[in-house]
Chain A
Amino acid sequence: MFTGEKIAELLEQLGVTHVVTVPDSTIGRWQSAIEERAATRLVRVCREGEAWQVAAGLYLGGATPLVLIQCTGLLESGDAIRNAIHDFGLPLFAIIGYRSYLNQDTIPGDTCLIFTEPTLDAWRIDYRLVSEPAQFDEIGAHRAACGDAGVPGAILLAEGKA
């Protein structure tokens, strides 16, 4: 839906210093554009639970991290989210790819569609669903609003194939 250049430019405008990530076939395509930006460092991790914990350390150290993962990775991140956001109270922000939302050609009946949004609600993460290009500005607006309020938040970015 969005090019890597457009996302990378937005992240730079938002003051994001580190993007902590595990790719999928949509958000993974943004990596090279993000890496080209001097102001934003890409941090590759091996699983998504790790991503929240690295982001927690970055935030404590005074950086402005963003977690960039697929919704499958959100589902494996529970204890890390609980600890970082709810024990230590860190207002971490994520962009989460919403697998199969736009079409289910690759995975008909993808159960991600059943569990992703209830999981975000369970973790009390204020999220906005971005499902069409016209909503691009909502990404920055929601990030800014969460930043101003000092609360965690997420963008759930509709994707097609896995």
Chain B
Amino acid sequence: MTATTTTETARTTGMSAKDALAAVHAARGARDIVITTMTPARDWMLLPPTPLDLVFVPSAMGGAPSMGLGLALAQPNRRVIVCNGDGSMLMNLGSLVSIVNARATNLVVIVFVNGTYEVTGSQPVPGAGVVDYAALARAAGFESVHAYASIEEWRSDVRHVIGAPGPTFVSLAVEPVHGQPGPKSPGPARERARRFMEALDA
């Protein structure tokens, strides 16, 4: 694991989730797996797809980091990047402990902190504006922890942050978007699972 690297910026303003995802899309390596869920999944699907994208829709809410842990352990020579919602992260906080315990050095968990359950109509998540996700990750044992509220800083650091040995945790303060539909499944999940496994084999 790397030494503690923490980048704190003001949390009063947030970036656009779409811009933040576009930065991940530009920075991910060709062999990297990217798992997206909730509104990050919706906005990720606006970007050009790759066979190593796992759009976790339908999901078991909260499960994306755990799915990422399994993939990271099975595919130690690939990086696995998980783009998660804050409500989903709250539903599976223990996964942060499991990830550190399993020493999944190739796993990056990015939480899009919008303070709301955007998909279900932007109700506030418990602890909105109070919970410090980077601190939670640090307390769970993550040593590579980053927090950003500025898209410029995220863009300039993203390649380095996701490329460093992990497990890595990133908290992104993003602006909530109201009144947009949630993510739609991009096709039958069984068929997508089969194709995804083929892509990993290739």
Q: Which residues of A line the B interface, CB within 8 A? A: 17-18, 20, 41, 43-47, 49-50, 53-63, 65, 79-80, 82-84, 87-90
Contact = CB atoms under 8 A, between A and B. Distances in A.
B61 A54 contact: no
Given A50-B95, A88-B190, A62 B60 contact: no
B67 interface: yes
B200 A56 contact: no
A143 to B, nearest CB: 19
A20 B69 CA distance: 11
Nearest to B197: A60
Given A58-B73, A58-B74, A80-B60, A53 B98 contact: no
Nearest to B78: A61
Given A45-B94, A46-B94, A65 B193 contact: no
Given A43-B73, A45-B66, A89-B193, A62 B200 contact: yes
Contact of B189 (A54, A58, A59, A87): A87
A83 B61 CA distance: 9
B190 A89 contact: yes
A65 B73 CA distance: 11
Most-contacted residue by chain A among B68, B73, B200 (CB, 10 A): B73
B60 A57 contact: no
A57 B71 CA distance: 4
Nearest to A79: B60
A35 to B, nearest CB: 13
Contacts of A62: 74-75, 197, 200-201
Which 3 A-B pairs have CB atoms at the shortest separation, nearest pair first? A57-B70, A61-B74, A46-B94
A93 to B, nearest CB: 14
B58 interface: yes
Given A43-B98, A63-B70, 12 more contacts: A17-B74, A46-B97, A49-B60, A49-B63, A50-B66, A50-B95, A57-B69, A57-B74, A60-B200, A62-B75, A63-B73, A88-B190
A90 B71 CA distance: 14
Nearest to A44: B101
Contacts of A56: 63, 66-67, 70
Contacts of A55: 70
B60 A63 contact: no
B58 A83 contact: yes
Contacts of B74: 17-18, 57-63
Given A62-B197, A83-B59, A88-B189, A41 B73 contact: yes
Nearest to B191: A89
Nearest to B192: A88
10 contacts: A46-B97, A54-B66, A54-B98, A56-B63, A57-B71, A58-B70, A60-B54, A61-B200, A87-B189, A88-B193
B69 A61 contact: no
Among A44, A50, A56, residue most surrounded by chain B Cβ atoms (within 10 Å): A50
B122 interface: no
Contact of B70 (A54, A83, A89): A54
